[in-house]
Structure 1
Amino acid sequence: MNFIAENLDIAMFLVLAAALLRGYPVTFTLAGVATIFAGLGAILGAFDTALLGALSQRLFGIMTNQVLIAIPLFVFMGIVLERSRLAEELLEEMGRLFGTRRGGLAVSVVVVGTLLAASTGIVGATVITMALIALPAMLRNGYSKRLAAGTVCTAGTLGQIIPPSTLLIILSEVMSSAYQQAQFEQGKFTVETISVGQTFAAALLPGLVLVALYIVYILALAWIRPERAPAMPRDAAEPVSTRQLLRVLLPPVFLIVAVLGSIVGGVATPTEAASVGAVGALLLATYRRDEGARGASLLAIAALAGIVVLASSTSIRLQRSDADLGVWIVAALGACLVAVVAWGIWRAIRHAAREGYLGVINTRTMSVSSMIFGTIIGASVFSLVFRGLGGDKRIEHLVEAMPGGATGALVFVMVLIFLLGFILDFVEISVILLPIVVPALIVMGHDPIWLAVLIAINLQTSFLTPPFGFSLFYLRGAAPPEITTGDIYRGVIPFIALQAVGVSLIWVLPGIATWLPAVMFGR
């Protein structure tokens, strides 16, 4: 019995893996397995049930976490932009711009994936949209099935590494908690934290490095094997209008500057910036879909931009005793801008309700957000019981015992994350594994910001690794019949290798991840 009691943590992890492989719902599996093993541990004297008293505080902390509250708003923003046909128009214009060059259509898919990543961040919507529009065009122009499928799959996953993204928000919270825990273990009680802005800033350049690697690979392949990525005939490509190109480029750029700029620049918290993004996306969707009210939508969008500029450049405090006429004028201007935006929001909601897509947006936002928060809550229950059974100490000792010291431990963890990506998604890995292994890595001397970026790219790979890579599923459901599952799997292999190259570059040149946070946040 002592042997069983001492190894309940191992059995708990194995039972969880077996249940997930059987296809049981993740949230209920995490909480159910934790409950069963808490009971077994209590019976065998290996678990103190008093630890469960902390469960309510944990759950309340998750639901009121100011960083995690931004997730539903970013999900809402992405789904609204999906409904506004932003991706379709971007793909059409970029295809005309680059299509007459070898590999140009594939490059246009990567560029559009980058823009959508920085404005929507919804992987499923991006992959499906590009599969329905870009993939048939690439096949018609003689592209290799594998290259076409791999490019669409990979470009769609950029929304997980290029900020703002749900992965980076969750990872920021997990890394910040792990960093604080590591400092407590080192005897530091005046602890530092990691903000979402720092994580976003750290991931920006590495994300663009990945984009550059993809484009270089596509152009090199098109040069070496032109039959795999031929250019479109010039007479088949319509001329690109500068006005039309700006019309489709400016909306995502506006959102990127408003949302990402305000977070990284320290003007707004992630939740505040996500609110601006959600409102901006709703106004842009109305501008796209309601041709009769484009002037009103543009006015509201301009007012929203004015509020962002005003908030970043001045602070209005009417209760101050030294508030002069200038302060009151600025306050009146701000009130007018807020009124215009409120009027625009009311018109946008009324239009969305009249057209029948408001309910779809709300339902999808609720379902995606519930899935994410349900998994986080289930993982919190699992983590509490796992720690109570001594599992965290066992894994910390295993990491510390890896040959090669700190480098060997990091290699072990990165390989483990990569292998788990074949069967688990990024949320499960982030909230189950990382809180256990990351504190030990930080204690061993690894920079938490640099570590977060390495892990983020590794987690992004889980969308591409068979058999359970979500991007593969999305593409399989939307791809033409001539694209087989084998084509998709073989098509993503070079891009997985490129992501490994990206991780290696950031490992060898850590400044790619740490330079921008150091410049902007002094870290």
Structure 2
Amino acid sequence: MIELMPLWMFAVICLALMIGYPVAFTLAGVALIFAGFGIVTGIFDANLLKTFPSRLYGIINNYTLVAVPLFVFMGVMLEKSRLAEELLENMSKACGRMPGGLGISVVLVGALLAASTGIVGATVVTMGLISLPTMLRRGYSPAFATGTLCATGTLGQIIPPSIALVLLGDVLSSAYQQAQLSQHIYNPRTISVGDLFVAAIIPGLMLVVFYLAYVIFCGRFRPSLVPPAITEERVAPLRLLASLLPVLLLIALVLGSILTGSATPTEAAGVGALGASLLALWKRQLTMSRLLEVMRSTTRVSAMIFTILIGASLFSLVFRGFGGEELVHTFFSQLPGGVFTAMLVVMVMIFVLGFILDFIEITFVVVPIVAPVLMMMGVDPIWLGIMIAVNLQTSFLTPPFGFALFYLRGVAPASVPTGAIYRGVFPFIVMQLLLLVVLAIWPELVTGLSLQ
């Protein structure tokens, strides 16, 4: 009976989350219920629960996770500073004469915002409010327009600085240490958020190129989706530079300090938060009421993330107490095809779970279970982290619970049917899966820029 308890726990968690119960309390509640049942029946060691306070202290004392509220603050502050509006307006004028010029400007601005905010929701909502009415007014297909906006908004999931990479970096670091302990070896190498940031640069840029190629192709050969370019008002080069310069400067300060080793991701997040505040002040958008609004939004998002992390930590503790890790290891080791099949199964599982679970839930619940086993089988932890990050990005686009779809649905006109949004994201999901295949064939695209 004890052998099946981890499977029952995972099944109950997925069912409860699909019903709509709060994630953090569901994770903790299910863990405590199963632990209580196990204690009563004598198949669970109650002393394991006594180690939970030390786990909580480890979360509170985790220096890496300080970057989460700082990056959230930076993203929300940039959203309120109206920097994106000016950038989109000028970029659309600069690209307006090209086939699919407005779509090209959306992808480029989305990539720049992803590299300066790292928050998917803020990017999707901001660009949806600014660009979607214009795209529809110029005859763009509702499916193409909404799909482009949703997919571009999710670039903040893979292009650093990304909150998803911060969370993944912390989880993978713990998984790597656990894999070493399980094999009774010591390797001085550590897995840091900075490693993932560096490794994500090429995959992030490749995804931008895929999106641009698709938009340009539709602009040239699919006039029913993207109408021919019309004569546009030209934008003065100085005006375009003035809108680009603040964003590029912020990216250089945040990413440049990490890539050169001048600052840790947490320190760079502090620089980014200060830089975003100075930009808002420079654009005369930093008022006391707006600052309070940004702080409230930051607190809400950060509290949600850390509450889920605490619930997931308790769930992981009980899951391992029932022998879940050994069960997963046994299952993977018996698969035909070895590492390849195990990695394929994990990628398919994460992709399927992305239809019903958020990336935070998968990061805190699924990754700690499968990552140590894969690392013990010889999978490179940095490559594994980027593969998981790209796969998790699809969870924002896959119906029925893709969060990017919900974000855009909330700001899209009533004339845009929900079915059009679902159809529009399909080509971009295919492109993200194509990127996974490319990275699986050529892992050097991930590991070639490693800081190690």
What TM-score comes out, normalization by structure 1 length? Answer: 0.85
TM-fit CA distance, 1:230? 2.0
Q: CA separation in 1, counterparts of 2:433 and 2:404?
A: 18
Q: CA separation in 2, counterparts of 1:411 and 1:132?
A: 38
Contact 2:6 2:324 in 1 (8 A): yes
What is the match of residue 180 of structure 1?
177
Contact 2:100 2:229 in 1 (8 A): no
1:267 maps onto 2:200 in alignment: no
Q: Deviations over 1:202-225 (max 9, x none)?
A: 001100000001111111122221
What is the match of residue 91 of structure 1?
88
Letter of the 2:434 counterpart: V
What is the match of residue 138 of structure 2?
141
Q: CA separation in 2, counterparts of 1:352 and 1:451?
A: 43
TM-fit CA distance, 1:184? 2.1
TM-fit CA distance, 1:173? 1.0
Pairing partner for 1:150 from 147, 150, 158: 147
What is the match of residue 370 of structure 1?
303
Letter of the 1:402 counterpart: L
1:502 maps onto 2:408 in alignment: no
**Structure 1 residues 101 and 227 mapped into 2: Cα distance closer, same or farther (>3 Å)?**
farther
What is the match of residue 388 of structure 1?
321
TM-fit CA distance, 1:158? 0.3
Give the percent of matched residue pairs that are identical in Structure 1 and Structure 2.
55
| 3-state secondary structure, aligned to 1:419 | helix
Contact 2:332 2:338 in 1 (8 A): no
What is the match of residue 249 of structure 2?
254
Contact 1:99 1:232 in 2 (8 A): yes
What is the match of residue 226 of structure 2?
229
TM-fit CA distance, 1:166? 0.5
Q: CA separation in 2, counterparts of 1:488 and 1:227?
A: 17
1:281 maps onto 2:276 in alignment: yes
Contact 2:97 2:229 in 1 (8 A): yes
Letter of the 1:360 counterpart: E
What is the match of residue 100 of structure 1?
97
TM-fit CA distance, 1:190? 3.9
**Structure 2: gaps of 5 or more residues:** none
Letter of the 1:285 counterpart: A
Q: CA separation in 2, counterparts of 1:287 and 1:393?
A: 56
Q: How does 1:58-457 map to 2 (within 5 A)?
A: 58-234=55-231, 237-289=232-284, 352-353=287-288, 356-457=289-390
Contact 1:6 1:46 in 2 (8 A): no
Q: CA separation in 1, counterparts of 2:256 and 2:380?
A: 24
1:27 maps onto 2:24 in alignment: yes
Letter of the 1:352 counterpart: T
Q: CA separation in 1, counterparts of 2:335 and 2:359?
A: 24
TM-fit CA distance, 1:232? 3.5
TM-fit CA distance, 1:516? 1.0
Contact 1:104 1:231 in 2 (8 A): no
Q: CA separation in 2, counterparts of 1:515 and 1:191?
A: 20
Which structure has the larger Rg?
1
| 3-state secondary structure, aligned to 2:228 | coil
Contact 1:12 1:386 in 2 (8 A): yes
Q: CA separation in 2, counterparts of 1:264 and 1:91?
A: 27
TM-fit CA distance, 1:261? 1.0
Q: Deviations over 1:379-403 (max 9, x none)?
A: 0000001110111211221222222
| 3-state secondary structure, aligned to 1:505 | helix
TM-fit CA distance, 1:486? 0.3
Contact 1:100 1:231 in 2 (8 A): no
Contact 1:399 1:437 in 2 (8 A): no
Letter of the 2:279 counterpart: L
**Structure 1 residues 77 and 397 mapped into 2: Cα distance closer, same or farther (>3 Å)?**
same
Letter of the 1:387 counterpart: R
TM-fit CA distance, 1:139? 1.1
Q: Deviations over 1:286-332 (max 9, x none)?
A: 11126xxxxxxxxxxxxxxxxxxxxxxxxxxxxxxxxxxxxxxxxxx
Letter of the 1:173 counterpart: D
Pairing partner for 1:475 from 408, 412, 415: 408
Q: How does 1:37-76 map to 2 (within 5 A)?
A: 37-76=34-73
Q: Deviations over 1:444-499 (max 9, x none)?
A: 12111111111110011100011111000001111112211100001000000000
Contact 1:198 1:264 in 2 (8 A): no
Contact 1:205 1:512 in 2 (8 A): yes
TM-fit CA distance, 1:74? 0.4
Q: CA separation in 2, counterparts of 1:126 and 1:435?
A: 28
| 3-state secondary structure, aligned to 1:70 | helix
Q: CA separation in 1, counterparts of 2:222 and 2:26?
A: 48
Contact 1:450 1:510 in 2 (8 A): yes
Q: Which moved more, 1:440-449 or 1:405-414?
A: 440-449
Q: Which has the higher contact order (CA 8 A, sep 6+)?
A: 2
TM-fit CA distance, 1:187? 2.4
Q: CA separation in 1, counterparts of 2:225 and 2:3?
A: 57
Q: CA separation in 2, counterparts of 1:400 and 1:110?
A: 42
What is the match of residue 514 of structure 1?
447
Contact 1:141 1:232 in 2 (8 A): no
Letter of the 1:487 counterpart: A
What TM-score comes out, normalization by structure 2 length? Answer: 0.98
